[in-house]
Amino acid sequence: MGEASARYGGLVLGLLVWVLACGVLRFFFLEDERWLGWCAEAPSSLACRARGWLGWAIHLRVLAWLALPPALLGFCLPGVPGRWLAGLALVPALGGLVLYAVTPASFATLLALLRLVRDERLSDARTRG
């Protein structure tokens, strides 16, 4: 395997760990019914306040909206800067997909993935020819 394969393998593994962490956060911290009882008894505890702020961040789709600008910019920029921005945009976009912000996060994910699979040589040949 080459250096590029190892680099992309590390990126894919890191994104997989991120998606799993967001899923654990969603199912064990947000959707678990035990938290409702605990937070009804002690709403001012740090964990309950964190759960509340996370709920607001999900409601406002913060991760998804954070993913859109770098995805759009990465899609438009040629070369390495565009690829880096697209890869960077995948992190909040995939988190947004797991944490209920499907519409803007799916658009950002689509743009980022389209940019990452774009063949630069093909687009360079079209602009020159």
Task: List pLDDT tens digits, range 46-76.
Answer: 988 998 898 899 889 999 999 999 999 999 9
Q: Which of 4-8, 48-52, 105-109 has the lowest mean pLDDT?
A: 4-8
* Residues 72-111: b if buried by 16+ CB within 10 A, e if exposed: bbbbebeeeebbebbbbbbbbbbbbbbbebeebbebbbeb
- pTM value is 0.80
pLDDT at 90: 94
Q: 3-class DSSP state for residue 37?
A: helix
pLDDT at 125: 54
Digit-coded pLDDT (tens) for 68-106: 999 999 999 998 899 999 999 999 999 999 988 888 899
Indicate the domain borders of the chain: 3-27+61-121
Q: How far is the C-alpha of 60 from the C-alpha of 63, rounded, in Å?
A: 9
* Cα torsion 50, 29, 15, 92: sign: negative
Tokens of 46: 């740090």
